[in-house]
DNA sequence: TCCATAGTTCGGAACTTTAGAACTATTGAA
DNA sequence: TTCAATAGTTCTAAAGTTCCGAACTATGGA
């Protein structure tokens, strides 16, 4: 099989990272991978944020995240295990990923009203 | 004349901000506006980073930055004065803009050799 | 071997971006 | 007031990107 190339940390670009995280589906996927202790496979995300994402689209999103250097994907048997590259990125662009993740949290927190855990209404 | 609408700070989205800054031309324009004490007009950017940008394209880039809430544009006579909305944004998404600007500096600093001080000359 | 599962690639439709041409708004001079 | 110049916007078509169903590839198990 093809061994799934990942860019070196010195080749990462801010544009690539921002572009990858400027899509809400990718941002949600990345947040989930970054926050979970163990690796995540793609199929765990077929319903991201109450939407059904076709798997060809998901595959493209994972590719975008990989090519931006945000995640590392490794095949384990029939599935792909994805882990975040936060620590590496943070060495090159200190504080960038945490600031973006925190902003996404502020935004989703603000949307569902302080205190309550209401459903998002588009 | 049309008074050029700007989104309220509470309506800004992280996606919009990241998308706006994921284009190198817009990132350069925004960095220049954010770093300069006085307002900047569009024509100052007809050559951004050694490239000649057609003015219709520039106008679209300014519109994207305005609609993402990153800059405020106000007509002063025949030209448009642009100022950054960093302070406002920082109240809603603390640290986001500084982290992105710093990452852009790391990237351009790394590109031109470790000694430099990040800002492109010329 | 064949089948099921997980993910990728292909290709066309839908959407976005780019940039030249035409346009609008403002200023200043005649 | 009219004309010309300057600054920026809007129009529109071509180029580029993204989305998603269908077909495909890779792995593991019966």
**For residues A88 and A9, is the Cβ–Cβ distance under 8 A?**
yes
Provide, in whole angstroms, the distance separating residue B41's CA from nucleotide C28's C1'.
Answer: 20
Interchain CB contact of A107 with B (< 8 Å): yes
- C-alpha A11/C-alpha A26 separation (Å) is 21
With CB atoms and an 8 Å threshold, state whether B110 touches A15: no
Structural domain count of chain B: 1
Output the pLDDT for position A120.
36
Residues A5-61 have pLDDT tens digits of: 899 999 999 999 999 999 999 999 999 999 988 888 999 998 888 889 999 999 999
Digit-coded pLDDT (tens) for B87-103: 999 999 999 999 999 99
On whether residue A46 sits in a domain, the answer given is yes
Q: Residue A122 domain-assigned? A: no
Q: Is residue B111 part of a domain?
A: no
CATH code of B36's domain: 1.10.10.10
Question: What is the pLDDT, as a whole number, of residue B39?
Answer: 83
Rounded to whole angstroms, how far apart are CA atoms A77 and A37?
20
Domain holding A17, by residue range, is: 11-87
Question: Does residue A70 form part of some domain?
Answer: yes
The continuous run of DSSP H or E covering B55 comes out as helix B55-67
């Amino acid at each position: 099989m093809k061994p799934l190339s990942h860019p070196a940390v010195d080749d990462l670009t801010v544009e690539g990272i921002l572009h990858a995280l400027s899509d809400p589906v990718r941002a949600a996927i990345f947040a989930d991978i970054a926050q979970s202790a163990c690796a995540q496979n793609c199929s765990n995300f077929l319903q991201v944020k109450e939407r059904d994402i076709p798997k060809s689209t998901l595959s493209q999103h994972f590719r975008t995240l990989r090519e931006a250097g945000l995640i590392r994907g490794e095949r384990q048997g029939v599935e792909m295990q994805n882990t975040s590259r936060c620590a590496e990125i943070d060495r090159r662009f200190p504080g960038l990923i945490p600031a973006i993740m925190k902003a996404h949290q502020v935004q989703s927190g603000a949307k569902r009203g302080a205190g309550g855990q209401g459903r998002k209404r588009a």
